[in-house]
Structure 1
Amino acid sequence: MKMDRLPAEIILNCCKFLDPLEIIRLQHVCKRFLLIGRDDGLWRGQCFQTSSFLERLRRTRDLLSSEPVQEPQFRELARALANGNGLGHSRLVESRGEAPELKAPSDEKIRILANWDPSYPDEKVRWYDEYIARNAPISTNWLQQPRHRENPRHEHLEIRGMGLYTEPGDSDSTLVVGPLDDGSLCIWDIEGTKGQKGSIIARSKSAMLFLDDSPTDGRPNYPKLISAGVTECVSIDNTRQRAYIAVQDDLVEVDLQTLSPVSREKFPFTITALSEAKHPVPLTVGTNLSLHLHDPRTKASSGHRLGDSDRLDSNAASFTTRSSIKTPDFRSLLNPNPSPVYTHLNHAGPLSILHLPSSAGEWDGNGEIYVAGRFPSILNYDRRYFPKLRGTIHSGARLCSMTSLPYPFASTEKDLTRRGELSVEQVWEAKTRPGKTLIAAGEYNSKGSLEMYGLSPDPYLSTISTNPMAGSLQNSVMKNRQTSSSSKLLSVANHGTRVVISDGSGNLKWLERDGFTEARKWNSAREPVDGPGGLFSSTEASFVDPQAGDVIIKLSNTHNGRSERPVNEDDLVMWTGEKIGLLSFSREAGFTADSFEEKGRRTEEEARIEKEEHDYSQTMRRALEKNADEVRFMRGLGLGGSRLP
């Protein structure tokens, strides 16, 4: 009998004795082996074998084995960990959607795997991609950096924001939209469907986003594009193919097909945050002291909307002076009576706005609005009763980024699963109950704070407020202010079955959905520091990011749920405040910012001088970092705890 005629169950049973690299080689034999070699159960077991969860349980087993007397349940745990080769083929959920019946010999193996498994019963997970994202080397691909058109030296321009654009007919984001320093709007291709991957495929006229206040010497006086500290300044409506850009106190609507401005609305204060734009839900706009609902289907009452004739004119004719923009009635802000179109904020500085759909259906216009920022609580509004505040969730931290999961969260169960103490039935019950998870990141007492809140499926019980029934959600709060980061967290996003966060020290950290267990870690300024090795462990130490010292202030996932995408294309888009990069899982970067430079623009002498300058700056940077480390280490030694001047 030939090998390829064996039943798939026998081939899978043989694969459990192979190393990951040998399983990958097996995929090249034939199409049938390719299909079997990417079995979800097989790679789920490989992810488990290299997880820090299992490593911690093994340390616990070794510690307990040194004790003279062991409890019976600990002896079972030790035996299961010592014989864990069959863990990859156990299933928490059967295809019919019922709790599985357990067989006595493998009860403990299945229970341990169920405690670790981060996926939910109705969630589609490609475990082959998960293994790559958890163990493969990391490379950064920097998108083409735009240049100044009017400057004779054609210096590089800084990118002032970032938003992912999914074209009609696509399921995943393939384009990135961002405003530039010169007031133009730029579009990059991150999938290579319209040109070279990472290149600029379209760019609007300069100063399109600006207003010319007082031109002097024939040159427009450009104001600053984005206020400092505003990261959520770009929002993309994929259905209507429109981009909303916050330019100080103006909201500019741009047609992404023609890259021309459609409308401009002026707000009473500087815009500090924009929500996701998804038709037909109105956009939520946060300013320093107020919160507004912007519906593009209605004519703005406090701004000026451009007509078709305006769009055909040049940019200079469309936006000549601010006198063409109606000034809002600021006296209304002093009116103590509530306004039907906006709400006052008692604390300044909203930084993140999150839309969640209602329990009746997704994006029916009746969802919830969560607002976080430089105030100690997360504000919750019901769009149907806006601007009335429905409730608050007390945090105590200054939060700057939020995301969500359509799955329940219970802190007690997460703590027990992290220690591997729940039964399979208890894990099943915790994962199948209704609810959602709100994830927030920010700063608490100069340290990073990662927080998770379990939200009830009933919208009137979703917040911890004055409602007595909502008090039960106090048990579904997790605040990791000890191990998330030693510096402020800047961004948080979902990435597969993990949560990825970035901090002010240039670190990216992938955590399991309990918010504590670390899956892997990477630093943009130093060599990556990862967890257990495996297939890719030999290459981890040799990889060093050439673009050292970048701090990532915003993360976005390009994958929106499509399961038919090619392998290993679940990339992360990163914005540093100056440039945009694509984080991939491979040994070498596919492209860099220099890959898009025109050939022949630089002479050999200029290229040599530029390389010498780069090498010198990198050498001095490393020397200064080592000197700073020595100063911090020696501070106070031998001086009785006094600080050095």
Structure 2
Amino acid sequence: MDALPEEVVLHIIRFLEVPDIVHFQRTSRRHLTLARDSTIWKLECFNSSRAEALRRRQVLLGAQDAKLAELRNAVTALPGSDLTAWDVSQLRGSAQPRASVDPEYAARVQRVRALANWEPGYSDERLDYYEEFVHRHAPISLGWLDLPKARTSDKEELREATGVGVLHDSDEHVQHVIAPLDDGSICIWDVSERSTTTAGGRGKIVAQSRSGLLTGQSPTATSDSRIIMTETGAVECASVDNTHSKALFAVQNRLHEVDLTTLQLVSTKQYPWPITALSETRNGVPATIGTNWTLHLHDPRDPAFGANEQESSGELIGGATYSHASLTQPGPLSILHEAAAGTGDSSIWVAGRFTSLLNYDRRFFPRLHGTIHSGARIAALGSLPYPLIPQSLDLIRNPDIPISLLADARTRPGTTILAAAEYKGKGSLELYGLPRQEPYQNRQTASASKLLAVAPHGGRIVFSDGDGNLKWVERDGFSHVRTFNINDYVSAKDREAARSQDASAYGIWSSTASEMPGQGDIVQKIIPTHPVTASSTGLATQGSGRDRADVNQSNLLLWTGDGRLGVLGFGHENPLGRDQWHDGVEDPQTESAEQRARVDAEKQYGMAMRRALERNADEVRFVRGLGMGYQRN
């Protein structure tokens, strides 16, 4: 095999099954590189896609006898019968196939068109299709970041994250997670990716500020700080400036600027109403601050921005305040800078509880530049730095469209705005192309509940809903890839915690929400650890040295409604890279014999109390209905 040319080895690999290709990678470094050829894995991804399944169905229908084809078309046209999958495809606009004179030739043509129509990558984008295949088929695992513990009275409680932001490296890969906690402190975790020689950050806590830093309360007044931190409940309440290692945190109507190196307050600015959304802070572009009724630009380099705004809403609406825009409807929830997608440097998009996307130009702020009517209430915005392909260029739905038109549309510059919304009680995934074109709104198959977050993830789009589901679809916004519910995943650590749970969660006091950790949780925010940018290649850095980035690390950082932070990965291993040895030495302070004895004693006491309460519950159930049969009305 070592003497064969690479072209011959690649041709041989095409005849292997997927498990055999994976085993073939382990034989040598040369075979590892060849067996991860992107073209091979692109075909594997396509073979298991819904586009290929539809093409195969069309081939089978087209290969039928001409008389059977006419009979089938006549039956399909009959009213009153239940629609089949093929009937649905007819309603979507594709023509009914006729019996082909040369079925093999027709199958080859249809396969070429289906592959061109399905391919998620653009002309200047290099996707790693080996990683794509892993993300589409490998089992999903979750690793939860360890939150700091707080001892209140005689019981230890975990702090809750009230927001989340990330620090990137030069390749736009997430290195650190920054989150404000419910006690008013700021915590930083190391989630840097592993390589062939290093274990990565593993989600370790690297720094934490004092309690009450963001609330102005004393470190001991954790109850007061918790009330302040959770009162507004804004999802986009943290924005990190990677260039200057600073971060903005919104707490009620105050905006705090914090130096992430020293974890000290740099400045505080007060706004007239509670802050509901913050934009990203990148490349020296001023951040956009959204309150219930106004929008503001925040640039710490400009002294005019540093002055406090008037606290009186009447004076603010009067127009005397520097650089603000008044909103006719309250409730901005997400702010997107088009510059974040690399396509512009001045556009600001605002969405929220109102039914339109508001567009502002930073050069003419606060004048409204334009709007896009949605009809839905949008909870989150995301961006894909590539143009939106209109539905009219779908090669499967429209057999007469040449492939050249689709290829030309993929080469044009543009950006696609992703929106997670709610329309008439159901989830709505919406795609808006810039420059302006006909948007696509999936309000039928996205979700039965409200969508909460959305982000591009490799060659797919991922979004979350109010039922705790994470769903991946193709970039067309319609074709389903896979679904995962965070409440269905229970790690070994969670199972052990459930077994040793306090006895009050069982018996007659039990509830569905308390029987398992994370039950009923939802994902409020999704952050890809490898964001899709116009300059990213999506390919793992192989290199020739010994220190090579490991594969399959384009994970998702999740912030849940219960205030937990997790990393979603693909494979059987913990995405944080922890193992049994690491878990055993993770906290050196618990290694002493005295502390181990105390932990064992607490577990034994908890089990004894559980058995006692369960017996008490059995007695209550037994005597609850005694004598009821002898009562008379």
Q: TM-score range by the shorter chain?
A: 0.7 to 0.9
Counterpart amino acid of residue 516 in structure 1: F
Aligned pairs for 1:202-601 (under 5 A) are 202-212=207-217, 221-222=224-225, 223-299=227-303, 303=307, 328-335=311-318, 337=319, 340-357=322-339, 366-413=345-392, 415-417=394-396, 422-456=401-435, 462=436, 473=437, 476-526=438-488, 547-560=518-531, 561=536, 563=539, 564=541, 565-577=549-561, 578-589=563-574, 590-591=577-578, 596=586, 598-599=590-591, 600=595
SS at match of 2:240: strand
Whole-angstrom distance in 1 between the partners of 2:246 and 2:612? 44
What pairs with 1:89-238 in structure 2 (closer than 5 Å)? Answer: 107-148=109-150, 153-167=155-169, 169=170, 171-191=172-192, 197-212=202-217, 221-222=224-225, 223-238=227-242
* In structure 1, C-alpha distance between the alignment counterparts of 2:177 and 2:280, rounded to whole Å: 15
Check conservation: 2:393, 2:401, Cα contact below 8 A.
no
Supply the distance in 2 between the matched residues of 1:156 and 1:579 (Cα, whole angstroms): 10
Give the alignment partner of residue 51 of structure 2, picking from 53, 76, 79: 53
| Distance in structure 2 (CA, Å) of the matches to 1:65 and 1:514 | 29
Matched letter for residue 410 of structure 1: I
Counterpart amino acid of residue 192 in structure 2: E
1:433 positional shift: 2.2
- Separation of aligned partners in 2, 1:610 and 1:198: 30
TM-score, normalising length: structure 1: 0.75
Letter in 2 for 1:211: G
Q: Cα–Cα, structure 1 residues 31 and 194, in superposed 2: closer, same or farther, change >3 Å?
A: closer
Tell me if the contact between 1:148 and 1:182 (Cα under 8 Å) persists in the aligned partners.
no
Deviation at 1:334, TM superposition (A): 3.4
Q: Distance in 2 between matches of 1:277 and 1:614?
A: 50
Return the alpha-carbon distance in structure 2 between the equivalents of residues 272 and 428 of structure 1. 41
Structure 2 gap segments, 5+ residues each: 71-95, 491-515, 542-548, 614-633
Structure 1 distance, partners of 2:482, 2:221, is: 54
Residue 122 of structure 1: CA displacement?
Answer: 0.3
Question: How many residues are paired up?
Answer: 531
Change beyond 3 A, Cα 1:108–1:334: closer
Distance 1:194-1:258 versus aligned 2 partners, 3 A rule: farther
Q: Which moved more, 1:580-589 or 1:546-555?
A: 546-555
Q: Structure 2: how far apart are the matches of 1:48 and 1:611?
A: 52
2:14 is aligned to: 16
Does 144-153 or 156-165 show the bigger shift?
A: 144-153
* Counterpart amino acid of residue 183 in structure 2: D
Asked if structure 2 preserves the Cα contact closer than 8 Å seen for 1:509 and 1:521, the reply is: yes
Partners of 1:613 and 1:386 in 2: how far apart? 63
Checking the alignment, whether the CA contact within 8 Å between 1:340 and 1:386 is kept in structure 2 is no
What aligned pairs does 1:36-75 form with structure 2 within 5 A after superposition?
A: 36-65=34-63, 68-69=68-69, 75=100
User: 2:150·2:158 contact (CA, 8 Å) conserved in 1?
Assistant: yes
What is the CA distance between 1:573 and its match in structure 2?
0.2
Per-residue Cα deviation, 1:71-124 (whole angstroms, up to 9, x for no partner) = 777748963697xxxxxxxxxxxxxxxxxxxxxxx5543222111111100002
Contact map agreement 1:115 1:420 (CA 8 A) in 2 = no
Fraction of identical pairs, as percent: 41
Distance 1:59 1:254, change over 3 A: same
Answer whether contact 1:377 1:394 (CA < 8 A) is retained: yes
Change (3 A) 1:17 1:370: same
Task: Rate the CA distance shift 1:48–1:342 in 2: closer, same or farther, 3 A.
Answer: same
Cα distance in 1 for residues equivalent to 2:400 and 2:250: 49
RMSD value over aligned CA atoms? 3.3
Counterpart CA distance in 2 for 1:40 and 1:134 is: 15
Point out where structure 1 has 5 or more consecutive residues left out of the alignment. Answer: 83-105, 305-325, 457-461, 463-472, 529-544, 618-645
TM-score, normalised on structure 2?
A: 0.77
**In the alignment, is the contact (CA less than 8 A) between 1:265 and 1:300 conserved in 2?**
no
